[in-house]
Amino acid sequence: MTRSVRSTVQGESTLSKFLAARLVKYIQRGGAEQPRKAPTNLTEREEEILRLIARGSRDREIAEQLYISESTVKKHVQNVLRKLQARNRVEAVSYLDPGNRL
């Protein structure tokens, strides 16, 4: 976690090994055949949480970093998945460009 925090402070994007592996599998299965434009109806907080997920942060870590409860993070994640019509976090993260922007 310390390495992720340092990387984030330095403006680097990090992705957990778990999410990276799932993202590769998703792309290999053809899940990213047609580029999709992300809806712009995510709130600032939802976008922020999506970027933290892309960096490999877990719900508890996101909650601590944003000074909100873990259940609030989970609700935001549910909203992100619904708005992006994503089946899982990896699919939602696939909407981000290399700079972690929608």
Domains and CATH numbers, the chain: 2-93 (1.10.10.10)
Whole-angstrom distance, CA of residue 87 vs CA of residue 102: 17
Q: Is the pLDDT of residue 82 over 90?
A: yes
pLDDT at residue 59, as a whole number: 97
Whole-angstrom distance, CA of residue 19 vs CA of residue 65: 20
Angle, CA of 56, 18 and 46, to the nearest 5°: 35
Q: What H or E segment, with its residue span, contains residue 59?
A: helix 59-66
Whole-angstrom distance, CA of residue 66 vs CA of residue 84: 22
Span of 1-5, 45-49, 70-74 with lowest mean pLDDT: 1-5
Query: Is the pTM here over 0.85, yes or no?
Result: no
Name the CA dihedral angle for 64, 69, 73, 79, rounded to a multiple of 10 degrees. -160
Q: Is the pLDDT of residue 64 over 70?
A: yes
